[in-house]
Structure 1
Amino acid sequence: MDMMTLAPYAPWTDRRGNLSGLRLAVFIAVLLPAVQIFYSLAFGPVLPEPFEMELHASGDWTVRFLLVTLAVTPLRRIFSWNRIVGVRRMLGVTVLAYALLHLGLYAAQESWNLGKVVSEIVLRFYLTIGFVALFGLAVLGATSFDSAIRKLGRNWQRLHTLIYPIGGLMLFHFFLQSKSDVTQATLMAGLFVLLMIYRLAVKAGFSLANPLVLAVCALLAAAGTAGIEFAWYALATGIPADRVFQANFALSVAIRPAIWVGIIGLGVGVAAMVQWIGGLLGPKLGLKRA
């Protein structure tokens, strides 16, 4: 194949083979965490557990990119940003790539003793959960090509709705390996809840272009996040869950995940309102949408 034949398959080009600024920016963005991880492995300080930090970093980025991937459709609906759909497949493959990197770093931490890796995955519940999620991502990744979409037809859409339970398993794995401090896991779970509430709102017939709907979604997600955090501390730790819950209302402590989820959700609503106002005033002021 020559370069012209390969052009449509390059991650930074559209289906016609033309350079896409959005795709190029996303491609660079998804590579940066991996570059940082490998740089840290190659040039970072020598530690007793040389892969520990990078192992956690790769897992964190797997979850983050999952949330970004799931945010594509809501963002398209909220801001009428149809072009963003063009990077959804790249983001989905990125989730799988970082999950595989996460597994690879775990194997490296175990000195590539694959027998031990397998036994640990089988015997340790949180590793079993993580591997099941990885297997699910691999299935979705293997069926993300155009040929698979054509072959599966309507079943492709049904198959890829598995990303939601897979996401739940990934977050459960995150909680289990976080032990007592689940601040980051709770924040990620809260954002996942926000995205699921968006999905339910659409199914119920509400428009995500409505700032009021977005505000209600944000408040529900914040409440759900607080509930998840309370339930985790109450059921899985010896830390008083009521004190953790009360911290959501204490301005003197660090901002809790539930508050961050509410802020992010309301911020999306404010941005949607600004766009809506701009759409009303733009024609009167002689402004054109880019």
Structure 2
Amino acid sequence: MSKPITEFIEKYYLHFNSAALVDASKGYVAHLKDGGKMMITLAGAMSTAEIGKILAEMIRQDKVHIISCTGANLEEDLMNLVAHSHYKRVPNYRDLTPQEEWDLMEKGLNRVTDTCIPEEEAFRRLQEHIVKIWKDAEAAGERFFPHEYMYKMILSGVLEQYYEIPRENSWMIAAAEKNLPIVVPGWEDSTMGNIFSSYCIKGELQPSTVKSGIEYMMYLADWYPKNSGGKGVGFFQVGGGIAGDFPICVVPMLYQDLELTDTPFWSYFCQISDSTTSYGSYSGAVPNEKITWGKLDITTPKFIVESDATICAPLMFSYILENS
């Protein structure tokens, strides 16, 4: 079997962050080969960066067993799926004047660095379908998590008429077809969360129709012990923020607050981050700090790649797919 990415990075990535990338990738592969499971957390705008092109294959090949992500990453994969041709790249984004930024806003283009998301165009295709699913659930007295509503929309087939990228490049389609467990802390901080809030304010929906972040933690607290036997569950954090901070806390919560003293620590840890440790940010904390919080053990394999996740994650996922 040809392993072009493996051969490339093992030849040239020998020191500093590049060596950490290789070591962490090998650790991920070893964790899977020993029977371990893995959580991947997605912060930032990784879906807009089209991480789905490779994350979908990681999901299909069972290289990831649960995902924690922001509400933005959840919906932005679908926005790219149904409105890709309306995205606009702005390579000279550093030179834009306030007036040029305003002009983009008036065109319905929300800029993320060099990429403008056509939010109006995307939600014109998504909103009526997701609102119907919310209202149908409420009428039936049912409640679901945010990602479960999106799974229902994907699996119903109503979006297929709008697909503008190959379906195999959407990690949300791959996740829906696997019914992959997902936790979405802070879902309210997303366009879809804002839309749901607006319907609640208008009295057309009840907030309880969408399950809460507390219920996501309860869900994770049930999932983790059931899947932490043997080699245990690893933690692969892409970026920082709530997508990583929220789920990693399930371990100390289980054994400190629920007094389940046999709860195992996370059994592998890697973070790709450009956050700086000296500023006191949790996102930039070195892995050893997590020992003091009861999240990682002394013996947990720990890696940190201080670099750009949009560069590193695809390389690491490619290495993992080639070797496991």
Q: Same fold (TM over 0.5)?
A: no
Larger Rg, first or second structure (1 or 2): 1
- The structure with the greater share of residues assigned to strand is 2
Give me the TM-score of the superposition, normalised by structure 2: 0.28
Give me the TM-score of the superposition, normalised by structure 1: 0.31
- The structure with the greater share of residues assigned to helix is 1
Q: Which has the higher contact order (CA 8 A, sep 6+)?
A: 2
